[in-house]
Amino acid sequence: MSLSRLSVALLLSLGSTIAVAAEPVPLPDGYRLQHYRAPTPAKLPGATVLDSQTLQALIAIHHPLLLDVMAANRVPDAAGGSRWVPATPRRDLPGSVWLPNVGYGELEPAIEQYFRRQLERLSGGDLDRPLVFYCLRDCWMSWNAARRALSYGYRAVYWYPDGSDGWQEAGLPLVDAVPAPL
């Protein structure tokens, strides 16, 4: 095979690889239940999908609640309850509240109560208060949590799929995060 034919064949094979990689991720029927660190869909029905620039504008104008839903370990505490013990330090968008584990596909009752209680407290019971859910890029936790907030009746739900990764890549600041207590 001549060099030019080899080059064309290589380019064609790369093109098909790129096309496969760029195929949209289908919307699931329900919540994502496993493999949370994987490519996510481009949309979430009922929610508005944000990029970094649009999120900056939303923050400046509407002051939404920024909700990080990255998972963390939970361990028993001396009082008979439990507390969060993050496996690694977490950095958030400034002004965020970290609500660990609320983005799993199936929530244990204590975590679902925690999520509902925190949303009620943080929004002041206002179902129209803008809520922005994020995690990391290619993380289904934020998609699941935003979908769940919609199911609770919240109407101004936003999803930032690039998460703290995208925020940092845009040259925007991150701050040390501490999970909201159980």
pLDDT in tens, 48-83: 999 999 999 999 999 999 999 999 998 888 887 888
Class of domain 37-176: alpha beta
**Three-class DSSP category at 8:** helix
Joined tokens for residue 179:
């999970």
Tens-place pLDDT, residues 103-113: 999 999 999 99
Domain ranges within the chain, ordered by starting residue: 37-176
The candidate with the shortest Cα–Cα distance to 102, out of 114, 117, 84, 88, is: 114
**Three-class DSSP category at 98:** strand
Residues 37-56 have a mean pLDDT of 97
The predicted structure's pLDDT at residue 58: 98
21: confidence class by pLDDT, cuts 50, 70, 90:
low
